[in-house]
Amino acid sequence: MKVVIIGPAYPLRGGLATYNERLARAFKEAGDEVRIVTFSLQYPDFLFPGQTQFSTEAGPADLAIEVSLNSVNPLSWWRVGRKLRAERPDLVIFRFWLPFMGPALGTVARLVRGNGHTRVVAITDNVIPHEKRPGDGPLTRYFLSACDGFVTMSRSVLKDLQALGFGQKPALYRPHPLYDNFGPLKSKTAALAALELPATTGYLLFFGFIRAYKGLDIMLEAMADKRLAALPIKLIIAGEYYEDAAPYEELIRRYELEDRIIRATDFIPNEKVVDYFCAADLIVQPYKNATQSGVSQIAYHFERPMLVTDVGGLAELIPDGVVGYVVPPTPAAIADAVVDFYAEKREDAFAAGVREEKKQFSWPVMVAALKEVAQVKPR
């Protein structure tokens, strides 16, 4: 089968690029011909909240990546769409995560489908965005109406598709596969040494881009709980701020958390991800709303216990009491779980649960779902 994936990839960085590159490898492993079409411009600078959109690491030598789509230049949408329409791939997979991308991706999808052969399937991270803006609905519908079918990575997004009126199109839920591309597991001792952290302290890890919906403020308020203050633990904040850091710094000052916080608030390169996860006792995701999270799938890969909040689809993949905790998004509930984790010495039991649960999150399952929705048999 000839497959094209359209979405972020090298030289862009971040979880979406990592996912798309890993998906391309899964198609290659299945014997398919695959390439990625990525953005020459993903966001205008004034819309991008981080330090840089681009990776400083070497690009993947094993993948065909074409840098040609400009999210704000309609001429590039036409060029990419007309080129793919003429090439007639069997399957084009769009990664959709933000209404802003609706015009570009929707136009390319319409042009490609004009050849009467290519099937267009979207992996929809979100169809209702975490942070709503005027015009979200029409932009999202413009893209969704151009697709033949969808694969979602949470049941909540599947329901959102139905609520938006797209329930008549083929759609499947498949969980987010493991992020197994960050290298093998490391011992906690080796990971702590790599980060130059003492082994006499326990560590909680908040990982990923810092945005309001991810609830770092809730986690900081939980750290202020007197019971947590009495424990020999610290919170590692590992990820780049995608908004103003000042409110979080104010919480750190107000609750006198400075000595109990470790900041790594720059972009974490791929080769360092293993150290942060393997150094941590518990991965914390105190989100205020969510559909699914790649952080959980990194934690599964590195066999780390997790604490997540019961919002959106986040808890679907985290069996409470088996691999960690599912709690309400409140400081008190989070603090209760952390206290239980250390008081009852649950790390080993939860890690064993993670090892068992992770077996279900495979890339071949995702590839099969995309082909099934496309209703195209492999050649």
Q: Tell me the H-state helices in the chain.
A: 15-29, 74-87, 102-113, 136-144, 155-163, 188-195, 216-223, 226-229, 246-254, 270-279, 294-301, 331-343, 347-357, 363-374
As a whole number, the mean pLDDT across the chain is: 92
Side-chain-facing half-sphere of 331: CA atoms under 13 Å: 15
* Domains of the chain, first to last: 2-177+362-374 (3.40.50.2000), 188-360 (3.40.50.2000)
Alpha-carbon distance 295 to 217, whole Å?
18
Tokens at 165, concatenated: 């009126």
End-to-end CA distance of the chain: 5
Give yes or no for a cis peptide into 74 (omega within 30° of 0). Answer: no
pLDDT score of 51 more than 60: no
Which position has the higher pLDDT, 231 or 13? 231
The reported pLDDT for the residue numbered 291 is: 66
Asked if pLDDT for residue 56 goes beyond 80, the answer is no
Buried b (16+ CB within 10 A) or exposed e, 110-149: bbbbeeeebbbbbbbbbbbbbeeeeebeebbbbbbebbbb
| pTM score | 0.80
pLDDT at 270: 87
> Using one digit for the tens of pLDDT, what is the confidence trace for 17-44?
999 999 999 999 999 999 999 999 887 7
The arithmetic mean of pLDDT across residues 37-56, rounded, is 71
If you write DSSP's letter for every residue of 46-68 in order, what string do you get?
GG--SS-SB--SPPPTTS-EEEE
How far apart CA 305 and CA 256 sit, in angstroms, is 27
Amino acid identity of 113? R
Residue with tokens 């202020």: 224
Placement of tokens 């991706």 in the chain = 105
List the Cα angle 159/162/167 in 5-degree steps: 130
> For the packed helices 102-113 and 136-144, what is the interaxial angle rounded to 10 degrees?
20
* The pair of three-digit structure tokens given for residue 6, joined into one six-digit string: 């359209």
Strand partners, 173: 152
pLDDT-based confidence at 14, cuts 50/70/90? confident
